[in-house]
């Protein structure tokens, strides 16, 4: 469904400007201020994700009773402290929700918790972590949301939820990665700034991992010096059971009809000008009847900045759709 709900001023419509501003430090500070204004109690937790895996996160609770718990998942090389995570938590808290912002393995300050490195096929541990979060913080309602790769994980979490006994009322995803192979192609063909950004962030993360676990000989300088595609291929082919880069991408793609069987009501928001996730991939989706896709003309990748004050559309959209009961 094409939407005109998000209409930034002309000077703010460039997709790259939107993408950069959306995750800026200034937006992160705005998120912190909004959390503080809501009298939030934030506590850190380490979550048992089963099979010896531990994941970290932050629980944000309102001053009074909460109407439910929202699990929030960040994008690749983001964290619980990313601007969109803070802003989304603040928007939900303002509506009376509590939130749990979960770090993926090796994100935020969690590299020491597990020896094996993160990859996007690790959905099982996120499902188990979500079940544990629901057990630890019981609430009358539970929802989940994510951005970019976190949006991909959120939709896969919803696919796995019934079998895991996880009672999700609704999920929302902002600019979710659909077909990782096409996203990699888009970064290779487009402005090099996005590819270099993720190369730098991921290389730094892997170097941090190597410092904590020096016996991980495969994280050598030659391997880490490769470009994004080659580095991904080296780690996938040498240290996973996916066999090939294509096999790895197929493990976590949600393109085509992969979401057609989704039974949990879902909302998806993306922008037609997203520079790293082609909008054509969304137009080819086969969706379940209870899934709604919203496409805006502008917004870049997880940007959706509305004005010079850097207020965002996505965090308010996310809070509003999650606050709507599934029966509505």
- Pick the catalytic residue: 60, 106, 273, 274? 274
Local structure of residue 283 (DSSP, 8 states): H
In order, the DSSP letters of 198-228 are HHHHHHHHHHHHHHH-TT-TTS-HHHHTS-H
Reply yes or no on whether 45 is catalytic. Answer: no
Catalytic site includes residue 301: yes
Active site residue 3: no
Q: Which of 83, 148, 281, 316 is catalytic?
A: 148
DSSP string, 291-313: EEEEEES--TTTT-B-STT--BS
Name the catalytic one among 74, 107, 298, 301. Answer: 301
- CA-CA distance, 148 to 304, in Å (whole number)? 13
Q: How many helices (H) and strands (E) does the chain have?
A: 12, 9
Cα–Cα separations (whole angstroms), residue 19 to 212, 241, 293, 302: 32, 34, 20, 6
Distance between CA atoms of residues 119 and 242, nearest Å: 11
DSSP SS3 for 325: coil
Task: State the catalytic residues.
Answer: 148, 274, 301
């Amino acid at each position: 469904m094409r939407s005109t709900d998000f209409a930034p001023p002309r000077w703010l419509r460039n997709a790259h400007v939107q993408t950069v501003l959306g995750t800026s430090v200034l937006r992160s500070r705005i998120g912190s201020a909004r959390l503080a204004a809501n009298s939030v109690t934030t506590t850190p937790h380490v979550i048992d994700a089963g099979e010896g895996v531990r994941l970290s996160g932050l629980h944000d609770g309102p001053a009074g009773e909460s109407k439910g718990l929202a699990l929030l998942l960040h994008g690749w090389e983001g964290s619980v402290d990313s601007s969109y995570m803070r802003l989304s938590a603040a928007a939900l808290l303002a509506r009376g929700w509590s939130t749990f912002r979960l770090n993926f393995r090796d994100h935020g300050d969690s590299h020491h918790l597990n020896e094996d490195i993160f990859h996007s096929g690790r959905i099982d541990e996120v499902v188990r972590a979500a079940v544990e979060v629901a057990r630890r913080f019981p609430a009358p309602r539970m929802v989940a949301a994510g951005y970019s790769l976190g949006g991909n994980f959120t939709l896969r979490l919803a696919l796995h939820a019934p079998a895991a006994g996880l009672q999700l009322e609704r999920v929302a995803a902002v600019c979710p990665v659909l077909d990782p192979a096409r996203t990699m192609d888009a970064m290779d063909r487009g402005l090099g700034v996005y590819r270099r950004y993720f190369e730098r962030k991921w290389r730094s993360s892997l170097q941090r991992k190597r410092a904590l676990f020096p016996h991980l000989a495969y994280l050598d300088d030659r391997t880490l010096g490769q470009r994004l595609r080659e580095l991904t291929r080296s780690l996938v082919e040498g240290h996973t059971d996916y066999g090939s880069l294509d096999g790895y991408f197929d493990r976590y793609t949600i393109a085509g009809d992969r979401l057609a069987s989704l039974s949990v009501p879902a909302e998806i928001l993306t922008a037609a000008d997203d520079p790293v996730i082609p909008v054509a991939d969304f137009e080819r989706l086969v969706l379940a009847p209870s899934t709604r896709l919203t496409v805006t003309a502008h917004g870049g990748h997880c940007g959706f900045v509305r004005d010079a004050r850097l207020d965002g559309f996505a965090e308010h959209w996310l809070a509003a759709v999650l606050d709507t009961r599934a029966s509505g």
